[in-house]
């Protein structure tokens, strides 16, 4: 682990170089904008949640995840 850390410090110039995001970039807008008075990150989280609920309940993959989890959210 010490060797890997040393290698990383050598490659990154000991952490002296930092990267910033331009103030008017798309990523900045996604983190700071709002729609209908609700911030974009909240909308993104709701969309991801909705997609995952559909995947877990309507696909074989989702059913397998429930089966692996033991009692999960469903009871026989």
> Would residue 55 count as lying in a domain?
yes
DSSP string, 36-76: TTEEHHHHHHHHHHHHHHHHHHHSHHHHHHHHHTTTTT---
Residue 71 has pLDDT above 70, yes or no: no
> Would residue 75 count as lying in a domain?
no
Give me the mean pLDDT over the 46-75 stretch: 81
CA 62 to chain centre: 19
Residue 10 has pLDDT above 90, yes or no: no
Give me the mean pLDDT over the 8-16 stretch: 77
- Residue bearing tokens 């074989």: 60
Choose the most confident range, by mean pLDDT, from 7-11, 59-63, 71-75: 59-63
- Summarize pLDDT for 15-37 with one digit per residue, the tens: 676 767 677 777 777 788 888 88
How many domains, in total, are found in the chain? 1
Domain boundaries, position 12: 2-68
Residue 75 has what pLDDT?
A: 52
> Would residue 41 count as lying in a domain?
yes
> Would residue 73 count as lying in a domain?
no
> Would residue 47 count as lying in a domain?
yes
């Amino acid at each position: 682990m010490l060797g890997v850390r040393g290698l990383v410090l050598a490659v990154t110039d000991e952490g002296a170089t930092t990267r910033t995001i331009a103030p008017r970039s798309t990523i900045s807008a996604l983190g700071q904008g709002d729609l209908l008075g609700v911030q974009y990150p909240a909308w993104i989280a709701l969309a991801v949640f909705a997609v995952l609920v559909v995947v877990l309940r309507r696909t074989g993959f989702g059913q397998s995840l429930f089966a692996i989890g033991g009692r999960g959210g469903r009871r026989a």
